[in-house]
Amino acid sequence: MMCLGLIIRYNNFQRASIINTSNAAVGNLLDRVSNTSDYFALKIVNDSLVAENAKLIELLKGVQGKIDNNTIAEITRKVNLPKIDSLRQLEYSYIGARVINNTVNKVHNYLTLNKGTAHGIRHDMGVVGPQGVVGIVKDVSENFATVISLLHKSTKINARIDRSQFSGSLGWNTLDPRYAMLEDIPKHARVYVGDTIVTGGGSDFFPAKVALGVIEAWNSPTGNDFYDIKVRLATDFYNISYVYVVDYNKKKELKNLENRSTAN
């Protein structure tokens, strides 16, 4: 045992090999445990899928063979799916994955997914669920990925009040998995309880108008130019089974352009 410890400590290659093997073993174990849990939760998942399919069928009845961009936008809005921007060239594509581990009661919470690089998932991809934003991919192996949850002290999401279009930043510092705080909304903005908060679209993590939550309460502190706004999160982090990993198809082009600009 002492020899093994010395090998791991002083040999970088052996240490990396052992850690990667350990991570794969833990991932496989979580996957098996999740499979068992999914069996018992199957009825709930099926009920949710049936309800969403019913909404789609109801909307598609009026299409009558012609689907344009406006129709697609209406369908995705009503069933809380990520926005589809074009019929000819999708700006975003989505990789479905199953959540095999999830924490909600820590200061820094993470999720583990059963998909990795072999399925097209990369570092810094956004993750959304049927209800709204979930988090951002942190680390990826061949068959698994870890996600920095929205319930993480360092997570900041570019957010917008859907009605008024005022932009701010959504962060989690309430230690309650149901709520987050919307910051940087100026006091000259009109804020109402019940206002919908969505992604602003100013990043390559998420499309615009993905649900974040609704305003639960707000106050106007003295000596501050901004509101304190409490947001009830759209995603129920106690109950996440499946997610979509967001692939921004123009990310490489955008980064290349930005790199050229900063180099000069």
In the chain, the percentage of residues whose pLDDT exceeds 70 is 64
Local confidence band at 137 (pLDDT 50, 70, 90 cut-offs): very high
Instruction: Report the CATH number of the 156-233 domain.
Output: 2.40.10.350
- Integer Cα distance of 238 and 136 in angstroms: 18
Alpha-carbon torsion (16, 22, 26, 31), positive or negative: positive
- Integer Cα distance of 101 and 31 in angstroms: 8
- Integer Cα distance of 120 and 192 in angstroms: 41
Instruction: Using the predicted structure, report yes or no on whether residue 81 has a pLDDT greater than 80.
Output: no
Task: Provide the whole-model pTM.
Answer: 0.69
Q: What are the tens digits of pLDDT across the range 30-74?
A: 555 555 555 555 555 554 554 454 344 434 434 444 455 565 566
- Integer Cα distance of 132 and 33 in angstroms: 25
For 74, the enclosing helix (H) or strand (E) is helix 69-78
Q: In the chain, where are the structural domains located?
A: 2-39, 156-233
In the chain, the percentage of residues whose pLDDT exceeds 90 is 49
Classify 120 in phi/psi space as left (phi over 0), alpha (psi -120 to 50) or beta: left
